[in-house]
């Protein structure tokens, strides 16, 4: 097991996966990583809908997003987790973002790769919103915020560079 700092320093988004299922206990740990994330006022309301690659809803979303895209938006990962939160709570999007990063870091720690996904937001919150909310098992009054594709990586990617001076102000 690595330290959190080591994982933060070495992780990157993975967009190519092995055709290898995720063991049940590892998958459970990933879901729990999302649930263990801090939430505003400790609401713990973020809902995770776990969808496996053989579920037709993934392709249906693809068809509504872009049927002619070069890649599936989930990059053929064995599983995709869709995070939704209550519309009535102003911190839902932030809570979902923190939960998805917890999952991303926990995945890397367990030798998995993952990529956070937002490109389907317009489809999931668009005119078929109610239909997709039902298909994905979102609780009543919840909207999609973010998703994450997870699986065993079939590629390596160096961490991104950054511009410390431009992005940080130390007063």
Q: Residues in the site for ligand FMN, rule: CB under 6 A? A: 12-13, 15, 115-119, 146, 157, 160
With respect to ligand FMN, which residue has the nearer C-beta, 112 or 171?
A: 112
CB of 101 to ligand FMN, least distance (A): 8
3-state secondary structure of 142: strand
Helix H or strand E segment including 85: strand 79-86
With respect to ligand FMN, which residue has the nearer C-beta, 110 or 147?
A: 147
Q: Six-digit token pair at 66?
A: 């872009």
CB of 50 to ligand FMN, least distance (A): 18
* Helices and strands: H and E segment counts in the chain: 7, 4
3-state secondary structure of 86: strand
Distance CA 132, CA 43 (A): 24
With respect to ligand FMN, which residue has the nearer C-beta, 13 or 59?
A: 13
CB of 151 to ligand FMN, least distance (A): 14
Say which residue the tokens 């039902």 belong to: 134
With respect to ligand FMN, which residue has the nearer C-beta, 13 or 55?
A: 13
Contacts of 35 (CB under 8 A, 6+ apart): 44, 46, 48, 99
With respect to ligand FMN, which residue has the nearer C-beta, 23 or 159?
A: 159
CB of 98 to ligand FMN, least distance (A): 11
CB of 116 to ligand FMN, least distance (A): 4
């Amino acid at each position: 097991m690595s330290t959190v700092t080591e994982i933060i320093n070495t992780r990157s988004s993975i967009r190519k996966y092995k055709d290898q299922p995720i063991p049940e206990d590892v998958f459970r740990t990933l879901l729990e990583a999302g649930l263990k994330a801090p939430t505003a006022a400790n609401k713990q309301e973020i809902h995770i809908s776990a969808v496996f690659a053989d579920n037709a809803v993934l392709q249906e979303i693809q068809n509504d997003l872009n049927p002619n895209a070069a890649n599936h938006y989930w990059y053929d990962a064995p599983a995709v987790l869709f995070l939704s939160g209550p519309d009535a709570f102003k911190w839902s999007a932030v809570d979902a973002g923190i939960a998805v990063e917890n999952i991303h870091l926990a995945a890397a720690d367990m030798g998995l790769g993952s990529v956070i996904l937002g490109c389907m937001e317009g489809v999931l919150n668009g005119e078929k919103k109610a239909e997709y909310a039902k298909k994905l098992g979102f609780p009543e009054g919840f909207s999609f915020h973010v998703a994450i594709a997870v699986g065993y990586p079939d590629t390596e990617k160096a961490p991104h560079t950054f511009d410390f001076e431009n992005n940080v102000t130390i007063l």
